[in-house]
Amino acid sequence: MTAHFDADVIVVGSGFGGAVTALRLAEQGQSVLVLEQGRRIGPEQIAAAKRNLFKLLWMPALGLRGFFAQTLFRHVGLVGGVGVGGGSLVWASVLLEPKPAFYQDPAWSQLGVDWHAELQPHYETAKRMLGRARNPRLTEMDELLRQTARTMGAEDSFGATPVGILFAGDGQLPGQRVPDPFFGGDGPERTTCRFCGSCLTGCAYGSKNSLDYNYLHLAQRHGARVLPEQQVVGLRPLHGGGYALRVRHPWRFGQGRELRARRVVLSAGVVGTLRLLFSARDAARSLPALSPRLGDGVRTNSEAIVAALHPDAQRDLSDGIAVSSDFYPNPHTHITQNRFPENYHFMRWYMTRLVDDDRPLRRALRTLWAGLKQPLWRNWFGRHWTRRISVLTVMQHLDNQLQLRFGRRWLAFGRRGLYSQAVPGHEAPTYIPEANAAARALAQACGGEAYNVAPESLFGTAVTAHILGGCRMGHSAADGVIDSDHEVHGYPGLYVMDGSVVAANLGVNPSLTITALAERFASRLASRLRESAA
């Protein structure tokens, strides 16, 4: 590296794609700089967030500098993590592989790559690095989900989830401090899981295998530098090769600074990566040759959120990990339960009466009428709500999508930004019949009430923690943003590696697949770098 560059490789974002890339390139002797707009989040910050909602939420414009972000578009509402470790901070730790149909999806099966065969060794690496283990403990909430599966004729598919959590081994106790169990002493000390059910707002005990305990920890041991509170707001190519990034503090005023690297990997998540690329193409015009397909094929993982509330105010269903069991009611639908931590009590205001209708306006009117006829007093004002609520995430591998575009928005006082568009005939669903059927069966099992969530039932807006797509692969810029090696068409040395490269709905939690894709990408890039240096 010469003094002209601040690093050989700058990675924008520290989630699954960025963390894997940082480690694998640092192992090859590349100087790596990871830029993360959020803060470093440790046990103290997580514990504080459990006591104070304002320390959990990420809304820097309002002075909220936590690590749980919510982003709302017309057609989809998103939740995710912000901080060193990205989405893994608020990740439920589920590590599932998609069904074979995912690899054969036309959105990427025409690239001449046997994705199923090529990703298998990388899935195995990802499982090892993320410490995948089967949840050893099923409790009352899981039994309710088993009854739900039985009612839907799918009990044979019910089981404990494979997750990235450290459980007590032989001779160990829950909550016990143990030496690094994964990386031969190169990793940090850990604490075995105590089944508190708070995975979704971070693990204050160090039991969840979030990226700061594996990939990022090891990357820094190999010399990678991770800089928090660094928001990338501009990107341009340099004459003679390489890229310059304009970086500023996410909540302080100032012009910021410029950082330069031979290569740049965008791993800022779907919204972050698309916002940066759209801005460079359409506003700054520093990357004018970016594909016209940018923002196409955005997926919600075909998800819906439903719930059921146990009627007994003294009942505590929170014993266990956040997502401890799942089942498949049919070949293209996957259902998990979710335990909400105590500081998720604000979610009660999202709930509405369960209503069936695939016509958004009619469903909204019926939902309002149902709420007037039978108000949700027990949901709104019942005691110990987070201990009694069972939330189901319903995911499908079906072909539906939306688009993200870039332009001036009146809600942003005319400033340019991302907005969503529906794709006629392929709209991302806000009503999934299997989801409502599961909610009814769950409510029947516990004797309680079943709910939809307001964005879906009142506003026709899908809700997901698993946004995907927008930087699809293609043979050229005419049909894709990147090639099958993740390099941006027309811009050598610029790569994308995050959920935006996933071309189809997985129908399961995507973290394991994104990690496997990142392992493949980093392996191929490292190989090319070795060849060019030889």
Rounded Cα distance, 191 and 46, in Å: 15
Cα 381 from chain centroid? 31
Residue 266 near residue 495 (C-beta atoms within 8 A): yes
Residue 168 tokens read as 């007590």
**Geometric angle at alpha carbon 379, from 378 and 384, rounded to 5°:** 90
DSSP 53: G
Which of 282, 303, 300 minimizes the C-alpha distance to 292?
282
Residue 206 near residue 349 (C-beta atoms within 8 A): no
Q: Where do the H-state alpha helices sit in 70-221?
A: 106-109, 115-129, 140-151, 215-221
At residue 75, φ and ψ (nearest 5 deg) are -105, -5
Residue 94 near residue 87 (C-beta atoms within 8 A): no
Residue by residue, DSSP assigns 378-413 as HHHH-TTHHHHEEEEEEEE----BEEEEEEE-GGGT
Residue 324 near residue 138 (C-beta atoms within 8 A): yes
Residues 6+ apart with CB under 8 A from 433: 356
Give 225-228 contacts, CB < 8 A, sequence gap 24+: 225/7, 225/32, 225/33, 225/34, 226/14, 226/22, 226/34, 226/36, 226/84, 227/33, 227/34, 227/35, 227/36, 228/36, 228/38, 228/39, 228/40, 228/83, 228/84
Catalytic residue among 75, 122, 334, 466: 466
Q: Is 466 assigned a catalytic role?
A: yes
Residue by residue, DSSP assigns 247-258 as EE-SSS-S--EE
Rounded Cα distance, 12 and 496, in Å: 10
Are β-strands 351-353 and 389-396 bridged in parallel, bridged antiparallel, or unpaired?
Answer: unpaired
Catalytic residues: 466
